[in-house]
Chain A
Amino acid sequence: MLWAGIVLPHLALDGALRHQLPPAPLSADNPAASLSTQPTGGSVGPLELIAAWAYRYSSLVSLEDQDALVLEVEASLGLFGPWPRFRESLTRDLRALGFRHRIALAPTPLAACVLAGAGRNVAITRDSALASALSSVPLSAARLPVGSCESLAKMGVHTLRQLLALPRAGLRRRFGPALPHHLARLYGECPDPRQCYQPPDFFAARLEFNHELVHHTALLFPLRRMIEDLSTWLSRREEGVQRFELQLEHANRPATTLTIGLLAPARDAAQLFELCRVKLEQTMLCAPVQGLSLLARDLPPFNPAPGDLFARACGDGSSWEILRERLRARLGEDVLFQLQPHADARPERSLRAVPVLTREPASGAMPRRPTWLLAPPVPWRGTVKGILAGPERIESGWWDEGDIRRDYYVIETPQGQRAWVFRQAGSTADHWMLHGWFA
């Protein structure tokens, strides 16, 4: 393995400066042009930010102390390499982020950090070359355990070469086991297990505006940028978002929360933005908005639907999933549903509305049923021309307070309509109840 060590000597200062910089103009004529990005709730420090950035180059990213991180690059060289070009892209990114830094390449993570910290702009790829590269590094840059550097300096030991010449047993006796172990890790003589950086499994972003926004339209521009960030982030993680929250922050009131829920995960920026826009348009702004934050926690894996090569490219070209979400966003979450049969003899309970039907329900053998079912049944006051079928007795439900005892008939009316009617079991009176139409 090859490790790139990145030392950020002015991390705290650079991190603080990042927020003070005047933001680049986003749009000339937009009132929301001067906005500033801030990490949510101070939870993300500058080093975490750098680690999240480094994660795009390597899956093994590890923080070292408070001012450095290492990433395994040998596996990534095929994608980003060779090393000079890889190094170039790291430097370019860090410069764009506004962090001063030093980078070195070495076979052990600790050596990479030490070499970078010592200002050696080197790329050591072979174990045999490591010792000579480290030999002239001053002990003050060697990241030794606390206190040992000063004691060694009093002994006249100033470089790693001098330190390595001392017998290890003596060092262990005088400084404890930490120092020899540190040296062994530095030179790759013993394994150096590390805790790797794990990116957070939720997406949070927050924007604070420099002035108060009173109109929806002014919110759309920063919102679009946020959604685009979310979409990029999701596609990198092979995930989609199923539910997320938008919070509109006001001066002296609790924030307005908009929840956007989808029936199926999605990650297309245009689609998500469209849904947010519809939701936002339906919301009355009770007070001027000072900040906008987006939090997405429900992030299921997302497999883009395989497109049909010969699919009909017509209309708006939007898929059923997009149409479905558009209708739900505008009309409400429960207006759109599907029906599935339910194993119950009582007609009222023989179908169930579900948001999404994932697979085709099996069709059971049932006596003849009408195409429309009235809910609830209504009294039938018309005349009955004749009975086409029946009676079919349905007697069920004594156990759940939904007891019915009915005789169902298929009748024809003088107008030629076919209706599904019932009367109480055993009754011969003409008290018909209409329950369905054979339309």
Chain B
Amino acid sequence: MKPTHPALESLLREARVWRGPGAAESTGRARCSTGLQALDAALPVPGWPESGLVEVLTPAAGLGELSLILPALAAITTAEQPVLLVAPPHRPCVQAWQRAGVRLAQLHLLETGADSACWAMEQALRAGCCGAVLGWLTAPDDKTLRRLQVAAEHGRTLGFLFRGASQARQASPAPLRLAVEATPAGTLLRILKCRGRNPPAQAIRLRASLLH
């Protein structure tokens, strides 16, 4: 059945309502491919969304959570759009980032305290001039998350928010939530929430252990 009401059509186009399994694929546009075929296939649009907040929940560092988004950063910086890292936990080793295709001239870092990090990330998302904004915020509350999501939609900017795995149970306004899970066989990626589609039950393999 084809919806005829314009308001209904726009709702469906923007994937704001969940349509249940078997419904027609949403026709939204992806920003760029995630670089993982399985993830592209599992998302409502084949790749990272055009804008909005993406949460990446990780139990520990070094599980491949950055390599998940490096292809996206490479695509965005190659398109001459600035990428801002807000309060990163460590310094990026630029040689590795360069090897992944990230253009350093478009990579900006902001090292600041927790309070100003939230403010800075919101400003950067809202300004609409960045290709992507990556934030490592310590325990942002509901209100902050909602502000960030609204800012990202207002500025039509893609925001990646890295948080601890313990915050998976906290409700979040982010349209896409991914959890990185460490298993003996390697690192898995589980889609906790994605707007416009049922999150698949199956986890996606992010990185296989070389020792198993």
Chain B binds chain A: yes
Contacts of B124 in A (CB 8 A): 323, 327
Asked if B97 and A372 make an inter-chain contact with CB atoms under 8 angstroms apart, the answer reads no
Instruction: Give the number of residues in A that approach B within 8 Å (Cβ atoms).
Output: 58
Chain B residues near A350 (CB-CB < 8 A)? 93, 95
| B residues less than 8 Å from A385 (CB atoms) | 211
A357 within 8 A of B: yes
Closest to B186 in A: A416
Is the pair A319, B109 in contact by a Cβ cutoff of 8 Å?
Answer: no
Q: Encode B113-132 as 1/0 by CB contact (under 8 A) with A.
A: 00010011001101111100
Contact with B along A334-360 (1 / 0, CB 8 A): 011111110000010011010001111
A388 CB to closest chain B CB, in angstroms?
5
A371 and B93 in contact, given A315-B127, A360-B104, A439-B63 (Cβ under 8 angstroms):
yes
A357 touches B104 (CB 8 A): yes
Q: Which of B6-14, B65-73, B137-145, B192-200 contacts A (4 or more CB under 8 A)?
A: B65-73
Task: Report Cα–Cα, A388/B108, bound state, in Å.
Answer: 31
Q: Bound complex: CA of A350 vs CA of B187, how far in Å?
A: 29
CA distance in complex: A324, B96 (Å): 25
A267 at the interface (CB under 8 A from B): no
B85 to chain A, nearest CB (A): 10
**Inter-subunit contact A315/B157 (CB<8 Å):** yes
| A353: chain B residues within 8 A (beta carbon) | 109
Q: Which of B109, B116, B130 contacts A323 (CB 8 A)?
A: B130
What residue in chain B is nearest A414 (Cβ atoms)?
A: B184
Residues of chain A lying within 8 A (CB to CB) of residue B63: 415-417, 439
Those of B50-65 within 8 Å (CB) of chain A: 59-65
Complex CA gap A316/B94 in Å reads: 31
**Contact (A314, B128) CB under 8 Å given A339-B92, A373-B92, A436-B93:** yes
Tell me, rounded to whole Å, the shortest Cβ–Cβ distance linking A329 to chain B.
Answer: 11
Taking CB atoms, residues of chain B closer than 8 Å to A337 are 108-109, 111
| CA–CA, A372 and B104, complex, Å | 15
Contacts of A14 in B (CB 8 A): none
Interface presence of A363 (CB below 8 A): yes
Query: Do B95 and A366 touch (CB < 8 A)?
Result: yes
* Across-interface contacts of B123 in A (CB, < 8 A): 323, 326-327
Interfacial chain B residues near A338, Cβ < 8 Å? 104-105, 107-109
How many A-B contacts are there with CB distance less than 8 Å?
174
Q: Which residue of A lies closest to B155 (CB)?
A: A315
Q: What total of chain B residues lie within 8 Å of the partner, measured CB to CB?
A: 56
Q: Does B19 contact A (CB under 8 A)?
A: no
The answer to whether the Cβ of B91 comes within 8 Å of any Cβ in the partner chain is: yes
Using known A-B contacts A339-B107, A359-B105, A439-B64, determine if residue A315 contacts B154 with beta carbons closer than 8 Å: yes
Contacts of B67 in A (CB 8 A): 371, 438-439
Partner of A361, one of B88, B104, B116, B210: B104
Are B187 and A323 closer than 8 Å at their CB atoms? no
- Name the contact of A373 in the complex, choosing from B59, B91, B157, B186 (C-beta under 8 A): B91
Q: Let me know if B96 and A369 touch, CB within 8 A.
A: yes
A320 touches B130 (CB 8 A): yes
A34 to B98, CA, bound (A): 58
A318 at the interface (CB under 8 A from B): yes
- The chain A residue with its CB closest to the CB of B154 is A315
B110–A327 touching, CB < 8 Å: yes
Q: Which listed residue (A314, A316, A372, A418) contacts B90, Cβ 8 A?
A: A372
Contacting residues, chain B, for A316 (C-beta < 8 A) = 126-128, 155
Given contacts A318-B127, A338-B107, A438-B62, 8 further A-B pairs with CB under 8 A are: A315-B129, A320-B82, A336-B109, A369-B93, A371-B67, A386-B210, A417-B60, A417-B63
Q: Which 5 A-B pairs have the closest CB atoms?
A: A315-B128, A315-B155, A417-B62, A437-B62, A372-B90
Q: Which residues of A contact B (CB under 8 A)?
A: 312, 314-320, 322-324, 326-327, 330-332, 335-341, 347, 350-351, 353, 357-361, 363-364, 366, 368-375, 385-386, 388, 412-419, 436-439
